[in-house]
Amino acid sequence: MPSAFKKAFWIGNPKHLWKRYAAAVFLIAALLSTTHIAASLALEANARNAELINMSGRQRMLSQRILFLSLQATDHNEDGVRDRLEQSIDLLTESQRALSTDPHLSQNLVDLYLGERDLNVRVYEFSEIAGQIALNPSLSEAALMQLLALDSEALLGDLNKAVSLFEAQAADDASRLELIQNASFYAALVILLLEGLLIFVPAQRVVRRSISNLETQSKIVTCAKVEAVKRNQELELLKDRVEHEAMHDSLTEFPNRRALESHMAKLKSLA
């Protein structure tokens, strides 16, 4: 384990450092994409759930509106009442079809719409009986009694339950997407930490090592330069000494014949 940990921090050849940077950029890009997708899904799910909740709540209102208009149509037999009743029935059946066929329904909603309680069938039966009243209000006493019987069988209560289940589904979706967003956030923190540990720390070590090597080489060059200057001075002194010994007698230190010839040559060049 320590060797693996040390190997992770070992940068190796600095020329290969770009591979770690590329991996870090790839991970960050993937994380940003995941966060963006999660946010888009959250917005889409919120909009869809809001529409479903609104549609389910409208069903409660439509069921009571249909019942009220059916009573009015039976009592007054007015064309305007019948038109409003037919519009309400159409809205109820359309919303029921949209709700029961939604691909994102939770299991509780599927059980409510298509299970033993079979809310889907009862809503269509309720709409069909109300449609008979709208077509022939004068002969609708029996149909009205059936409509009242259906309503008394907790149809409104099941519609209220559907609204509650849609709200619970929306809360579950929001919690799940919030969990994904939180996971993305913490993953970003972990990736940034790993990027610092596995990329910037080894890179800093390489930079420090390079600076240390440059400082060492600079000291070596400086010492070599000082040594070269010293050797040059020694050579200059040795040269002067050799020239002095060549121009002077070793015993008396007086200038010799060679010194005289050199002096005469200088005078000759100046004449």
Query: What is the pLDDT at residue 9?
Result: 46
**Cα→Cα distances 229→159, 215, 217, 224, Å:** 102, 21, 18, 9
- Residues 6 or more apart whose CB falls under 8 angstroms from that of 161 comprise 112
Tokens (6 digits) for 219? 């000291």
Q: With beta carbons less than 8 A apart as the criterion, state whether 38 and 180 touch.
A: yes
Q: pLDDT tens digit string along 187-213? A: 777 877 877 777 777 777 777 887 888
Structural domains in the chain plus CATH codes: 15-207 (1.20.120.1730)
Residue 110 CA, distance from chain mean position: 33
Tokens (6 digits) for 11? 């940068």
For the chain, 271 residues long, the average pLDDT of each consecutive 10-residue run is 48 62 76 77 80 85 84 72 85 86 83 78 83 72 71 72 85 80 78 74 75 87 89 85 78 77 78 68
